[in-house]
Amino acid sequence: MSQDITVTTLFFSFAADRMNCRNKNYVIPQGTTLGEMVHLLQPQLGPDSTHWLYSVNEEWASGERPLEDGDEIAVIPPVSGG
């Protein structure tokens, strides 16, 4: 039987504008992958968000990564530093 976990998600730049917030907690089923989480966010983040980068706990992460309770996910739209 799967338990739920809580993850924190950070939004930056125009992703924060689209979400109307800088960070948000989500309660999701244990075993959820990062890719599934992104799919969950996509309606509000926009269709381009599947091409963006993501990190978990300040490390770049791919869609297959299983999420754990307390993870910090960051949504990284195309960067524009410099």
Binding site for another protein (CB under 8 A): 10, 12-14, 16-17, 48, 55, 58-60, 74, 76-82
Our CB check for another protein shows the closer of 6 and 13 to be 13
Token reading at 29: 């089923």
**Nearest CB to another protein, comparing residues 5 and 74:** 74
> Nearest to residue 38, comparing CAs of 13, 58, 19, 59?
19
Q: Which two tokens stand for residue 78?
A: 């195309």
Please state, as a whole number, how many other Cβ atoms lie within 10 Å of the Cβ of residue 6: 12
- Give the nearest distance from C-beta 59 to another protein in angstroms: 8
Closest to another protein by CB, 33 vs 55, is 55
